[in-house]
Amino acid sequence: MIEVANTAKDTLHSDEYDRETVEECRRLEQRFSDKEKEGDKPAPWYGLTRDLALYALRGERYRRKEETIARRRNAMAEYHEKLDKAKPASIVYCLACRSQMNVVEKDLRGFGKKEQILFYFRCPECNEMRRFFDNGEEYRPAPPSCIKCSTPVDQTFKREGSKLIHSYTCAKCGYHEDDVIDLDEKPKAPKIDKDFIKDREKYCMSKKEGDDYVNWIVLMELPQTKEMLERYSDDPKADVISQIKKLNIAQVEALLKPAVEKEKYQDLVFGKPEIYQGTVILPFTIQDTSADRNDYDSQLFLKRLIDEALGETNWRAMSDDFGYKLGLLNGRIRGVESEKDLAELARVRQKKQDKVSGSVEDKS
């Protein structure tokens, strides 16, 4: 097994956590100042309430930091382990040509008791797809329908130069929809939070201040502090979808290239994207220039690098789809765009984060 340094991963998680802390504290301060502007003279204790609420929020963020980072790390490991281990219920044959189909992707669907693994099968001869749940039941989604009047519609897919167009015209109400993906679209410059460094100093507690807070809260166990937190802190779930970074193909390339090149994978080349059920599937090849990895390690390591690089985006590596020949690796990544798919992705990721589990070791 190759070790991916936990420290590097934890630095990423730690930065991300601090960004969330800064955002939450800014929103809390904003709400107080909005109230102040509403007119009437604020009550004399208003400033004190604000300071105490902010102190408690900052302290709680400090108190929960280590545990949250560990939970996120474990959740990712558990998610990948579950998918890696999953096996389809039976052999699947192509309905068009009777060839035996191969699993090309696995996906976690639903929650708790309703959690299921969905296997994507592809025919090696004619590229037909079928999907089955882990209990052997075939997945048959409702046919696409018009967003205006819900009449079933026939969709068409075409490519015009660098544009992928996915469209339909409703036979009943005449509504026409074009969904265009421009492969040449330049990545937008990432939004830079200019005040982050300054605000991190302001809001994220130092070890000294944080430990003082923890000792204080343990001593006091102030019920009103808890109440105040519940009242003023945000529901983290509401923000999860908006936190997924939505990248186009060019942006995803810009993100992946340096991440894999650091580890001696060179010449990342993307193939022709396919649109499948509203998601974009993007094949790629890449050279492993390191002599220290065998084929198995190389594939595993590459997949992990990609998963990590894409961890906060609307893209992820497709599971069972990595190959290796003479130092050349190939694989596919998948991107989702619709609200529904993003919500599903967020739910899967959030669920992994929510599961407090000290029992799952990080296998990386």
The residue among 72, 8, 1 whose CA lies nearest residue 262 is: 8
What type of residue is 235? D
- The answer to whether the CB of 252 falls within 8 A of the CB of 335 is yes
CB of 91: closest distance to Zn ion in angstroms? 14
Binding test (CB under 5 A) with Zn ion, winner from 97, 220, 269, 328: 97
The token pair that represents 44 in the structure block:
């004399």
Considering the rule CB under 5 A, would residue 154 count as an interface residue with Zn ion? no
Binding test (CB under 5 A) with Zn ion, winner from 28, 86, 117, 146: 146
Binding test (CB under 5 A) with Zn ion, winner from 48, 149, 180, 328: 149
Binding test (CB under 5 A) with Zn ion, winner from 170, 205, 247, 281: 170
- The answer to whether the CB of 56 falls within 8 A of the CB of 216 is no
**Candidate ranges 93-101, 235-243, 248-256, 349-357; the one touching Zn ion (CB under 5 A):** 93-101
Integer Cα distance of 119 and 132 in angstroms: 5
Integer Cα distance of 329 and 260 in angstroms: 12
Considering the rule CB under 5 A, would residue 176 count as an interface residue with Zn ion? no
Considering the rule CB under 5 A, would residue 48 count as an interface residue with Zn ion? no
Residue closer to Zn ion by CB (options 33, 99) is 99
Binding test (CB under 5 A) with Zn ion, winner from 8, 48, 89, 173: 173
CB of 123: closest distance to Zn ion in angstroms? 3
CB of 124: closest distance to Zn ion in angstroms? 8
CB of 20: closest distance to Zn ion in angstroms? 41
Report which DSSP code applies to 39.
S
Return the SS3 of 153: coil
Written as one string, the DSSP assignment of 312-363 is: TBSEEE-TT--EEETTEEEEEEEE--SHHHHHHHHHHHHHHHH---SSSPP-
- The residues in 102-141 that bind Zn ion, with binding defined as CB under 5 A, are 123, 125-126, 128
CB of 138: closest distance to Zn ion in angstroms? 16
Considering the rule CB under 5 A, would residue 96 count as an interface residue with Zn ion? yes
CB of 127: closest distance to Zn ion in angstroms? 7
Integer Cα distance of 156 and 277 in angstroms: 12
The position carrying tokens 């709400």 is 31
CB of 62: closest distance to Zn ion in angstroms? 53
Residue closer to Zn ion by CB (options 149, 180) is 149
- The CA-to-CA distance between both ends of the chain, in Å, stands at 8
Close Cβ partners of 21 (under 8 Å, ≥ 6 residues apart): 58, 61, 200, 203, 204
Radius of gyration (C-alpha) of the chain in whole angstroms: 24
Binding test (CB under 5 A) with Zn ion, winner from 54, 94, 247, 329: 94
Looking at the DSSP bridge assignments, the partners of residue 167 are: 156, 178
The footprint of Zn ion (CB under 5 A) covers 94, 96-97, 99, 123, 125-126, 128, 146, 148-149, 151, 170, 172-173, 175
